[in-house]
Structure 1
């Protein structure tokens, strides 16, 4: 679909106009030996040509950014004249084999719609295996930021706004079908010991029982991010505004699932020496959950009762079980193909452990 952006560059690249080497930080880099595809350089050069304050579109500095679990992400920087700050864009190279987990065409469509509605970074260009995005003038949150009361309230308000977006397609929960699809894939690609340790052969029944228990006719649905960890939240430090990024897993779902997933992510620190380990002592207590959900509900401008707050708190707590299954299965599948230095198997082990420990109390 067309994107409302005058800088949009076509994804059709004619490789004949690309050199065999490019400049990167004033050094020649062999395209074939660099991790950014050759087609991406052509798009970047043509994009830079539209900015008159860049003296040399081929003189760019490329830095791999850490923390991405699904794609490869790079900061691309050009120097500008007259003492101006460098111009930056973000290049995202799509990860391989991710069709196991989500449909890339759905993620691209979601990103384009978010770009159009200014809910996330602008889409500047596309190429066959990735895209160029606006580099937001904001910082990515840290694990500690999620516990900051003021930042947490801002996230709650932004999440309510995100949930109320009108997106194409059926407005019905996708979590249950995704769990069944991922279970089938885990049984296909996982090792036999995974099946035994994680009781995968019995998990279909667990999913059905959980769906029956949690699904209610009056539950509130919304367009959910479904992966609201701190690395997918950015804050403009000038005005404190929040932007949610990375929509690979975004679908319609019960809003309680999205909030529950965010609470579960408070136990993670993906930039520690042991990024796969979860600290359950950091799961928000009842007071912290109430504060977040009260801010979420009050952002509509309506008065909210304590009963309404506590009702959504209880519903959210129950949906944490679905979050544990979701990311437990993700860990098993990712362990079979991902080359990222992350202990997916032990991460999955922790999520399944939390599911089994908690399910008797919900």
Structure 2
């Protein structure tokens, strides 16, 4: 019987490397199933999924000429009895869910009594013997019926047809080592690419345009921009300026003056990051007042100055000095930390106390 070229077709193709293996491929040579004949006195075939290499179904019988064959599906497990029901004609039947199917040589029907049967699969007969090389499953007819597991039905239909191919064949003689091979060993490795294909691949790779160069890194910031970047990276309050080794006194002074030029900025705090930068804090404060004086900003608003030193508590246990040497007490020790508040308004809470280390000053002319 001729096949419809517009329908999906599977072709039974013997495996070149393994005589007991048959591949079911489509016209584009994509393998959909592997069928393996298991050597032994009893008849047995196994059908594998080519992608996962998992066992899908087995068909067993005492011999290839037996009138009853048992098909066992896996994942989930299900037993299907496939038996010969014809007396004078070729007819094999099995049941799937609530339906009965019947193979008649090169055609498979879904039996509906008393209605006429419906064709669900067709094969192309190669010779008068029942050895077919192509098969088509007519999904458009199967969709007319309530079938839950259509994939399982497809596997059973194909496996039943495969048992016809083995009818009357002799038991295959296969070395014992091949019986223990995994499904992956049954699939031949893909052939290496031809020389012309490799040469064309190399030429196409060499003709490809080189990737665009990465964008150049931005130039590092300097001067006032670097001071602004450093303060933003610290994540402190906007009006707090921490003086470090990097950056000139002039840049720090200009940055502080720019902050005070904002009407919403009432005061700023200039502090040292370490004891070594205490003198630099004083220089930055003087530079800030000088910049404001040159710009004439101190004529309208009086600038208040509050100095706090050694406000940070030392870490570790407190040490008590029992030495009464007067010279040691009289010796001057520079502060280890310094914070200078420059404010446009009077801040009584920062005014000097009798016992504290706070110095208040006013500067109208920036001197």
TM class by smaller structure: under 0.3
Which structure is higher in strand share?
Answer: 2
* TM-score normalised by structure 1 residue count: 0.19
Higher helix share: 1
TM-score by length of 2: 0.19
Q: Which has the higher contact order (CA 8 A, sep 6+)?
A: 1
